[in-house]
Chains A and B, each alone.
Chain A
Amino acid sequence: MSPNVLALLPEYILVLAGVLIMLAEPCLPAAASRKPLGWIAILGTALAGLASWYQLQFGTLHAFYGTIQVDAFSIFFHLLIAAVVLVTLLGSLDYFEGHATHAGEYFALTLFGATGMMFMTSSVELLMVFVGLEISSISTYIMAGFRKGQATASESSLKYFLLGSFATAFFLYGIALAFGATGSTNIYAIAHGLETTATPHLAFLALAMLIIGLGFKVSAAPFHVWTPDVYQGAPAPVVGLMSTAPKAAAFAVLLRITFSGFPAMQHRWAILMWVLAALSMTVGNLGALLQRDVKRMLAYSSIAHAGYLLVAFTAFPQDGIAAACFYTATYAAMNVGAFAVITQVSGYDETARSQEDFTGLASRRPMLAALLAFFLLSLIGIPFTGGFFGKFYVFSAAVAAGHVWLAVIGLLNSGVACFYYLRLLAAVYAKPTAESAALTSIPARRVSVPAAVGLTLAAIATLVLGILPGNTLWLTQYAGTSTIIESARQHCAPHPDNCHVELQMEQR
């Protein structure tokens, strides 16, 4: 296979599946079920994941004149995105049944969005990153407004759109300034150009703008204002997707830009990240304390988790990348799981919204309640769940880099976080009240088989990441190492003689 095909195999598969769905959609009668299209999407996603796995044996691949770099890092995120999309699709296969007439477009948009995210993670050219970012953003804007009956859905879509575009402008400005400072938009060329740049302040400004732009995308405080409204209004499965996969992709970009693009400035941006992390954790957790709406609460919790993740950026490169990757994976597993449960509990009409509506869930839907409890415990960071090990790993990386106080802030925050998660958990296991019983028992639908499979996958992933994180850890550490090595190699390309030391790392 030519490297151009091999390197982009997962993306090709996703696009093909998406186009197939788009072509099939108008051919189906309006009243017909859209499930077959959903199955195409699921199949495509699974194949794309397998293709990523297949790429792992080839080491680092470059394609399209150095625009694309497929390495362990990008493969990790490809797998993660594929997994998240897979679980989301499984969970939403029956979601639109009987409600929306053109659910096929939802599946197609999901796949295209995933393609954009994958491009973001595997690209080392900021132009490509930008295009990928836009594909993923625009498809999520649309998906946020997909539940058109509800006024809140279009409102959520609008807010997401406006603030997302606002962030894009900052991101672009950052790219422009980086281009101005170094004369290139390739991440490695930027790193190289920084060594000789005549305009160092410009370069730092560029990085700051990039961080602001991506900060919006990952909803780090103080760029988080859109998150609660958007999560509250958007359909639950979409929130599950957009709180994880695009965020993971944005974090991947942020990792690449900071660690590969601006390594020379780490002493400066690490401070920025320190502040952002502390602020996000605190704002997220304190905000969540005040919330009654479950989705809104989880929105604030996702801000806090973005903060935990940002802690990894203050660590040494190799640890930091590995820890960030690992945390992204655990966060994705548990958050997607939590939203999948909420999808199943509240249904298309979102009958159950506030914590009171969830009161006594355990006595009516014991399995769903147990799963929700499990995901919430993982979000708290209880041992033997992914959440615990993720947090542990992130904070150990930060402590290793000497940021003990950040770890203290972070872990105290996770103490505060317990409060609101436990409140929901306690409500779920409390005796049902009259109103809550009325609300959550209306759609006493059975959980369909695909949704159950999706939930199980998420739960298993969360559990495995907590108990046997070995394989994932290996992949994340490989990702970290390969990123560092590739940076070194690219950096050395002009002066090959004085960097055999770094390249020796590769021999190991």
Chain B
Amino acid sequence: MSAQVPIAYYLVLGAILFSIGIAAFLIKRNIITIFISIELMLNAVNLTFVAFSHMWHQVSGQIFVFFVMVVAAAEAAVGLAIIIAIFRARQTLNVDQINLMKL
């Protein structure tokens, strides 16, 4: 149809998203946002998987993504439950105030 896009571009896009995810994980102060940035990182990984899967003409990479989604769902259930529990106890979602223990 038209010009090919190098696989590396997809990978770089994945790297950009992953790095933004890391930055957000480190910078954001709201627990939920931190959790969201982990999801962003997982999505970046998924893109990498799909790109490589395309490159190798193997669907096993896609299956990995499938599993990552399931795991992300499970993690979301547990993580949000933990967040709800901590909000009930502390009435805040700021990580800097979740500091009963010495850092």
A residues at B contact (CB < 8 Å): 127, 130-131, 134, 138, 141-142, 145, 148, 151-152, 154-159, 161-162, 165-166, 168-169, 172-173, 175-177, 179-180, 183-185, 228-229, 232-233, 293, 296
User: Which of B52, B58, B101 contacts A229, CB < 8 Å?
Assistant: B101
Instruction: Known contacts A154-B82, A158-B86; decide if A127 and B63 are in contact (CB<8 Å).
Output: yes
Residues on B with beta carbons closer than 8 Å to the beta carbon of A232: 101
Mark B25-47 against chain A: 1 for CB-CB distance below 8 A, else 0: 10000010011001001101100
Q: Is the CB of A162 within 8 A of B35?
A: yes
Q: Is the CB of B18 within 8 A of A165?
A: no
Q: Is the CB of A154 within 8 A of B89?
A: yes
* Interface size, chain B (Cβ < 8 Å): 42
Q: Is the CB of A161 within 8 A of B79?
A: yes
User: Which of B31, B42, B52 contacts A158, CB < 8 Å?
Assistant: B31
Instruction: Known contacts A155-B86, A165-B79; decide if A176 and B100 are in contact (CB<8 Å).
Output: no
Is B78 part of the contact surface with A, judged by Cβ < 8 Å? Answer: yes
Residues on A with beta carbons closer than 8 Å to the beta carbon of B21: 169
Between A and B, 20 residue pairs with Cβ closer than 8 Å are A127-B63, A131-B67, A154-B85, A154-B89, A155-B86, A155-B100, A156-B101, A158-B82, A158-B86, A162-B31, A169-B18, A173-B41, A176-B61, A179-B53, A179-B61, A180-B11, A180-B55, A183-B52, A183-B58, A293-B102
Residues on A with beta carbons closer than 8 Å to the beta carbon of B75: 134, 138, 161, 165, 168
Q: Is the CB of A175 within 8 A of B64?
A: yes
Q: Is the CB of A184 within 8 A of B60?
A: yes
Q: Is the CB of A145 within 8 A of B82?
A: yes
Top 6 closest pairs, chain A to chain B, by CB: A180-B52, A169-B41, A176-B48, A183-B56, A172-B45, A154-B86
Residues facing A in B78-103 (CB within 8 A) are 78-79, 82-83, 85-86, 89-90, 98, 100-103
B residues at A contact (CB < 8 Å): 11, 18, 21, 25, 31, 34-35, 38, 41-42, 44-45, 48-49, 51-53, 55-56, 58, 60-61, 63-64, 67-68, 71, 74-75, 78-79, 82-83, 85-86, 89-90, 98, 100-103
Q: How far is the CB of A150 from chain B (nearest CB, A)?
A: 9
Q: Is the CB of B52 within 8 A of A141?
A: no
Closest to B98 in A: A155
Residues on A with beta carbons closer than 8 Å to the beta carbon of B78: 138, 141-142, 161
A130-B67, A180-B48, A229-B103 known; 13 new pairs, CB 8 Å cut-off, are A145-B82, A154-B86, A155-B100, A165-B38, A166-B38, A166-B41, A168-B75, A173-B41, A176-B52, A180-B56, A184-B60, A229-B101, A232-B101
Q: How far is the CB of B5 from chain A (nearest CB, A)?
A: 16
Given the complex of chains A and B, what is the CA–CA distance between A381 and B103 in angstroms?
28
Closest to A130 in B: B67
Residues on A with beta carbons closer than 8 Å to the beta carbon of B83: 158
Q: How far is the CB of A112 from chain B (nearest CB, A)?
A: 12
Q: How far is the CB of A152 from chain B (nearest CB, A)?
A: 5
Residues on A with beta carbons closer than 8 Å to the beta carbon of B67: 127, 130-131
Q: Is the CB of B85 within 8 A of A179?
A: no
Residues on A with beta carbons closer than 8 Å to the beta carbon of B56: 179-180, 183
Given the complex of chains A and B, what is the CA–CA distance between A180 and B60 in angstroms?
11
Given the complex of chains A and B, what is the CA–CA distance between A161 and B82 in angstroms?
9
Given the complex of chains A and B, what is the CA–CA distance between A127 and B53 in angstroms?
14
Residues on B with beta carbons closer than 8 Å to the beta carbon of A183: 52, 56, 58
Given the complex of chains A and B, what is the CA–CA distance between A233 and B90 in angstroms?
15
Residues on B with beta carbons closer than 8 Å to the beta carbon of A179: 49, 52-53, 56, 60-61, 64
Q: Is the CB of B38 within 8 A of A169?
A: yes
Q: Is the CB of A155 within 8 A of B52?
A: no
Closest to B37 in A: A166
Instruction: Known contacts A127-B63, A166-B38, A176-B64; decide if A145 and B31 are in contact (CB<8 Å).
Output: no
Given the complex of chains A and B, what is the CA–CA distance between A172 and B49 in angstroms?
9
Q: Is the CB of A151 within 8 A of B100?
A: yes
Given the complex of chains A and B, what is the CA–CA distance between A119 and B41 in angstroms?
25
Q: How far is the CB of B61 from chain A (nearest CB, A)?
A: 6
Given the complex of chains A and B, what is the CA–CA distance between A293 and B101 in angstroms?
10
Residues on A with beta carbons closer than 8 Å to the beta carbon of B53: 179
Closest to A139 in B: B78
Q: Is the CB of A141 within 8 A of B82?
A: yes
Q: How far is the CB of B69 from chain A (nearest CB, A)?
A: 12
Closest to A134 in B: B71
Q: How far is the CB of A66 from chain B (nearest CB, A)?
A: 13
Given the complex of chains A and B, what is the CA–CA distance between A145 and B68 in angstroms?
24
User: Which of B35, B61, B90 contacts A165, CB < 8 Å?
Assistant: B35
Residues on A with beta carbons closer than 8 Å to the beta carbon of B31: 158, 162
